[in-house]
Amino acid sequence: MSVLTSYRVTWEQKGSTTSRTETCLVDSDDMTRPGDPEQLHGLLRQMLAIRYLPIGQVVPANIVLQDVVPVCNCEPHPGESCAWAEHKGHRFYLQTSARPGYEVIIDRHDNEILGTVRNTLSVEFLTMVRQRYSHQ
């Protein structure tokens, strides 16, 4: 199932000192390696180059990313504040497990445990959960 994630991206054209901030949507189907920041940054550079660079300079390498921030999916609704804003918009988080070598993925929405994961895989798993469910 395809999931769209919004990012607020601050960037500048290589060689320029003027930065711009744009909102970009990334489709999870375009990611062959979910959770890989390098692939995400490559997709964002490509998208920005196509959209904003003059013909002849439309090359992702001509885009310098300064900041990439996921946009809370409750921001587009006027007058509503994000319930997880105090946690940088993250609904899901990691906590140390009572079981040695494991961490627990917890949902702040209902304070329920989603799963217990080996600590070597916990960050990747948390990233996949955040990409999949965001604040839904």
Vertex 98 angle, CA 94 and 99, to 5°: 95
- pLDDT confidence band for 116 (50 / 70 / 90): very high
- CA 25, CA 33: separation in Å to the nearest integer? 17
Own/partner contacts of 37-44, CB < 8 Å, gap of 24 or more, are: 40/7, 40/68, 41/65, 41/68, 44/7, 44/9, 44/11, 44/68
61 phi, psi to nearest 5 deg = -65, -15
Helix (H) or strand (E) holding 105: strand 102-107
What is the pLDDT, as a whole number, of residue 129?
A: 83
- pLDDT confidence band for 103 (50 / 70 / 90): very high
CB 35 within 8 A of CB 131: yes
- CA 15, CA 100: separation in Å to the nearest integer? 50
Can you give the pTM of this predicted structure?
Answer: 0.60
Q: What is the mean pLDDT of the chain?
A: 85
The one-character DSSP state at 42 is H
Mean pLDDT for 69-92 is 70
